[in-house]
Chain A
Amino acid sequence: MAVRDITLGQYYPGESPIHRLDARTKIICALIYLVSLFVVQSFSAFGLSIVLLAVVVMISRVPFRFISKGLKPIIFLIILTMIINLLFNTSGTVLVEFWKIKITDAGVYRAAFMGLRLVLLIFGSSLLTLTTKPIELTDGLEKLLSPLAKIGLPAHELAMMMTIALRFIPTLLDETDKIMKAQTARGADFENGSLKQKAKALIPLLVPLFVSAFRIAGDLAMAMEARCYHGGSGRTRMNQTRFGRGDAMAFIVMIIYVGLLIGSRYLPLY
């Protein structure tokens, strides 16, 4: 019954320069960073990625344990990837050999490389959601996608849907928690029993939850209409986003970073 413990869109409140960056800047920079991780081919170039990430983490003042929390659900995947790389890479000199399995130096290298890449991917992307409010994030996405509205992409509607979905995750979690407790008080058992029994036990939870979700959605639609919501065209916003000096700095840093990475490919680095 740890429904409350689930954290989604785990924003860590703060006032750091990273928090204050325009959401668009952060989205673009995060994207560039994630792509760059796939361009990197040597450990020394990874060193550069790690330094950049460490500096950004330090500026953002988000405690490291919050960032590493993002690893927990994916740790199994990382270990699996590393093991597969370790066991099935047959090129290079053999270090250990037993039964049909050969562990080679290239395999070890590859496994460490992939593991590091995945960890950096998670850290880079969680840093984006940790330092950006969900609402700012969707606003930023809407702005970034708005040029595509000309070719018929409903950018505003997509962003609005995302905003609403994010907004209602905690509400629905609360609702789930409440209904679960109410049904537990009536003797429902969500934890024990066979798979079939467990699936059946979900009915008293899911039916009221769906009823609630539809009720909330109906109320919200009514409230939006009562305030004359009619889609995105001609809509102004309360907080106008603006690129500032910090954003310019961020882009310059990213350009230098990418330049160095590309340069490193032409150097004989290990």
Chain B
Amino acid sequence: MQIRVEDLSMIYNPGLPYETRALDHISVDIKPGEFVAIIGHTGSGKTTLVQQIAGLLEPTSGRVVAVAEDGTETVISEKGKASFAVRRKVGIVFQYPEYQLFEETVLKDVCFGPKNQGLSEEEQIERAKTALKLVGMDADEIGGESPFELSGGQKRRVAIAGVLAMDPEVLILDEPTAGLDPKGHDDILRMIDRIQDDRNITIILVSHNMDDVAEYADTVLVMNKGSLFMQGDPRYVYCERGRELKSVGLDLPAGPGFLEDLQDLGLDVDIEKLTFDETAEEIIRVVKKKWQ
């Protein structure tokens, strides 16, 4: 399923003294199976955009459409309408998703989504067990426990499983690692990457962490003050147009950032490197050259 965002705008409190333009004529295509990262400052419209892609928020103008493989189009959201049916093909994990847990047991909570989809009880449990396994948890071990007694990282996994259990074709994650320790952070990201490989679903990740984006994303959307500031693969965004990115106050990943600093010091450095390995090689090359 392809997601097409067409000229989407969103204005909060129109006509009031505190009117804010959260989205300003955004158009973008998200291909099936793509790993898309959305970066930008707080208040740049990232969350508003993903909520409209999920069909949870009505836009002021423009629309979001889901295009199936056979070419049929279904409107997810447009003015006056936010769609229910497609909502189940697009799963969204909110910031701090552990605050949505409410059931007596972990298994029941993960079953909530499939139950609302109208599945039979066996299917619900089947789905829940698979989803818990995907997030690296054992349903037999913790399925019967209260979700409120788990640790923070575990709660978050259960909450993500609750969305995965609905078997979405597009999975949106709004800063899924906020407030986790470095290990929990890495675990969640690796898990997302693995889920994408296993299921071949589209991932839309809202993130502040440029290193994660550089490592995992196929496409990066850069939001600035409600507009789509830049769009392209990580190499294009971080290497070719890194300085523009910095001009709107966003950081570069550690590698390109360091190489740019070296260049600013007057060294002859090729800054078009993205990963840690490439960066390391470039540093070695520069140091060797200096020595000779």
Whole-angstrom distance between the Cβ of B104 and the nearest chain A Cβ: 10
Provide the residues of chain A in CB contact with B88, threshold 8 Å: 187
Contact (Cβ within 8 A) B102 A204: yes
Query: Which residues from 1 to 53 on chain B have a C-beta closer than 8 Å to any C-beta of chain A?
Result: 17, 51
Whole-angstrom distance between the Cβ of B178 and the nearest chain A Cβ: 13
Query: Which residues from 94 to 149 on chain A have a C-beta closer than 8 Å to any C-beta of chain B?
Result: none
Contact (Cβ within 8 A) B112 A212: no
Query: Which residues from 135 to 181 on chain B have a C-beta closer than 8 Å to any C-beta of chain A?
Result: 148, 162-163, 166
Looking across the interface, which residue of chain B has its beta carbon closest to that of A5?
B13
Given contacts A204-B102, A208-B101, A208-B102, contact A185 B116 (CB under 8 A): no
How would you classify the secondary structure of chain A's contact residues: helix, strand, loop or mixed? Answer: helix
Interface size class of A (residues with CB under 8 A): 10 to 19
Contact (Cβ within 8 A) B56 A185: yes
Contact (Cβ within 8 A) B116 A188: yes
Given contacts A186-B166, A187-B117, A187-B166, contact A178 B87 (CB under 8 A): no
Looking across the interface, which residue of chain B has its beta carbon closest to that of A205?
B102
Provide the residues of chain B in CB contact with A185, threshold 8 Å: 54, 56, 87, 91-92, 94, 163
Whole-angstrom distance between the Cβ of A130 and the nearest chain B Cβ: 13
Looking across the interface, which residue of chain B has its beta carbon closest to that of A203?
B102
Select one of B91, B99, B113, B116 contacting A178, CB under 8 A: B99
Q: How far is the CA of A111 from the CA of B227 in the complex (A)?
A: 55
Q: How many residues of B contact A (CB 8 A)?
A: 25
Contact (Cβ within 8 A) B116 A181: no
- The answer, yes or no, to whether B97 is at the interface (CB within 8 Å) is yes
Provide the residues of chain B in CB contact with A212, threshold 8 Å: 99
Contact (Cβ within 8 A) A187 B87: yes
- The answer, yes or no, to whether A197 is at the interface (CB within 8 Å) is no
Contact (Cβ within 8 A) B102 A186: no
Given contacts A186-B113, A187-B116, contact A178 B94 (CB under 8 A): yes
Contact (Cβ within 8 A) B163 A186: yes
Q: How far is the CA of A29 from the CA of B237 in the complex (A)?
A: 61
Given contacts A185-B87, A185-B92, A185-B163, contact A204 B99 (CB under 8 A): no
Provide the residues of chain B in CB contact with A183, threshold 8 Å: 100, 112
Q: How far is the CA of A211 from the CA of B100 in the complex (A)?
A: 10
Q: How far is the CA of A184 from the CA of B148 in the complex (A)?
A: 21
Contact (Cβ within 8 A) B113 A187: yes
Provide the residues of chain A in CB contact with B92, threshold 8 Å: 182, 185
Provide the residues of chain B in CB contact with A175, threshold 8 Å: 99
Whole-angstrom distance between the Cβ of A174 and the nearest chain B Cβ: 12
Provide the residues of chain A in CB contact with B101, threshold 8 Å: 208
Select one of B112, B116, B148 contacting A189, CB under 8 A: B116
Q: How far is the CA of A183 from the CA of B87 in the complex (A)?
A: 12
Query: What 0/1 pattern do residues 35 to 70 of A give for CB contact below 8 A with B?
Result: 000000000000000000000000000000000000
Contact (Cβ within 8 A) B99 A184: no
10 shortest interchain CB distances as A-B pairs: A187-B116, A207-B102, A182-B100, A186-B113, A185-B92, A182-B94, A204-B102, A181-B56, A208-B102, A208-B99
Contact (Cβ within 8 A) B100 A186: yes
Q: How far is the CA of A186 from the CA of B54 in the complex (A)?
A: 11
Whole-angstrom distance between the Cβ of A216 and the nearest chain B Cβ: 11
Q: How far is the CA of A131 from the CA of B88 in the complex (A)?
A: 46
- The answer, yes or no, to whether A173 is at the interface (CB within 8 Å) is no
Contact (Cβ within 8 A) B100 A179: yes
Query: Which residues from 164 to 218 on chain A have a C-beta closer than 8 Å to any C-beta of chain B?
Result: 175, 178-179, 181-189, 203-204, 207-208, 211-212
Looking across the interface, which residue of chain B has its beta carbon closest to that of A187?
B116
Looking across the interface, which residue of chain A has its beta carbon closest to that of B118?
A187
Query: Which residues from 45 to 94 on chain B have a C-beta closer than 8 Å to any C-beta of chain A?
Result: 51, 54, 56-57, 84, 87-88, 91-92, 94
Q: How far is the CA of A204 from the CA of B54 in the complex (A)?
A: 20
Q: How far is the CA of A109 from the CA of B264 in the complex (A)?
A: 84
8 CB < 8 A contacts A-B: A182-B94, A185-B91, A187-B88, A204-B112, A208-B99, A208-B100, A208-B102, A212-B99
Whole-angstrom distance between the Cβ of B103 and the nearest chain A Cβ: 8
Whole-angstrom distance between the Cβ of B48 and the nearest chain A Cβ: 12
Q: How far is the CA of A183 from the CA of B99 in the complex (A)?
A: 10
Q: How far is the CA of A208 from the CA of B162 in the complex (A)?
A: 15
Looking across the interface, which residue of chain B has its beta carbon closest to that of A182?
B100
Q: How far is the CA of A9 from the CA of B54 in the complex (A)?
A: 32
Looking across the interface, which residue of chain B has its beta carbon closest to that of A185?
B92
Q: How far is the CA of A179 from the CA of B98 in the complex (A)?
A: 10
Provide the residues of chain B in CB contact with A211, threshold 8 Å: 99, 148
Contact (Cβ within 8 A) A179 B113: no
Q: How far is the CA of A182 from the CA of B87 in the complex (A)?
A: 12
Whole-angstrom distance between the Cβ of B213 and the nearest chain A Cβ: 23
Contact (Cβ within 8 A) B99 A179: yes
Q: How far is the CA of A181 from the CA of B115 in the complex (A)?
A: 17
Q: How far is the CA of A190 from the CA of B94 in the complex (A)?
A: 18
Whole-angstrom distance between the Cβ of A138 and the nearest chain B Cβ: 23
Provide the residues of chain A in CB contact with B116, threshold 8 Å: 186-189
Looking across the interface, which residue of chain B has its beta carbon closest to that of A210?
B102
